[in-house]
Amino acid sequence: MADIQTPDKGSHSKHGKGKVRSKKMSTRVDFTPMVDLAFLLISFFMLTTTLNKPVAMELNMPKKDETVKTDVKESQVLNVILDKEDKIWYYDGRVVYDMQKTDFSADGIRDVIYKKQKEVGQKFGDPKKTIVIIKMTEDANYKNMVDILDEMDITDTKIYAIQDVADLELEAIANGGKLDVIPEGLQ
């Protein structure tokens, strides 16, 4: 605890004209109990604290043996292609020759997905029937994929798939979203 040192008797000495000068007292504080208390508090908080558990998005992957083909209307499909510098190219159905460009902002791809869901909801009665096909170019990075999966969660898009980019789509991206020659099957 605290300890005060007191002077011995007779330690007062007279100097000069009869003045009595007292010796200054020194104090000594024992910090041992405080250190013990600090370690107890650190131990208590370390043992009682719950750490944040990581939150992961659940992805259902298809089984290798199981291939089920489902007929899908082209008007339900939104193709999203992730490109370099956080650019996103998108188009409806099979209309590769008329691609639009957007970004990851709230007014970007999120707005595009909401509009597509509204359009599908009006045609088919359920906006959850919107199908988003996600593709990545060689120049896209991992962060883009995480961001687009977050957008699927935010917009409550239940059906989406990840596919490879077609050569026709890469050609359209190289030409700024337009194809020089429209293939016969897409006209």
Q: How many domains does the chain have?
A: 1
Token code pair at residue 139? 């120049």
Residue 3 has a pLDDT of 62
Is residue 119 included in any domain, yes or no? Answer: yes
Identify whether 22 is part of a domain.
Answer: no
Weakest mean pLDDT among 91-95, 147-151, 166-170, 178-182? 178-182
Q: Mean pLDDT lowest for which of 6-10, 46-50, 55-59?
A: 6-10
Q: Is residue 143, in this structure, part of any structural domain at all?
A: yes
Would residue 41 count as lying in a domain? Answer: no
Q: What is the pLDDT of residue 7?
A: 57
> Which range marks the domain in which residue 135 is found?
74-186
**pTM, entire model:** 0.64
Report if residue 28 sits inside a domain.
no
Mean pLDDT of 114-135: 89
Kindly report which listed range (28-42, 45-59, 60-74, 160-174) carries the lowest average pLDDT score: 60-74
pLDDT at residue 120 is higher than 60: yes
Assess if residue 31 is contained within a domain: no
What number of other Cβ atoms are within 10 A of residue 140's Cβ?
A: 20
> pLDDT, tens digit, for every residue of 81-117?
999 888 999 998 877 878 889 998 878 999 999 999 9
Q: How far is CA 145 from CA 109, 137, 163, in A?
A: 13, 11, 12
Segment 140-143 long-range contacts (CB within 8 Å, at least 24 positions apart): 140/82, 140/83, 140/84
In a domain, 91, yes or no: yes
User: How far is it, in rounded angstroms, from Cα 162 to Cα 75?
Assistant: 18
Does pLDDT of 4 surpass 80? no
Residue 5 lies in a domain: no
b/e code 38-74 from CB counts within 10 Å (16+ = b): eeeeeeeeeeeeeeeeeeeeeeeeeeeeeeeeeeeee
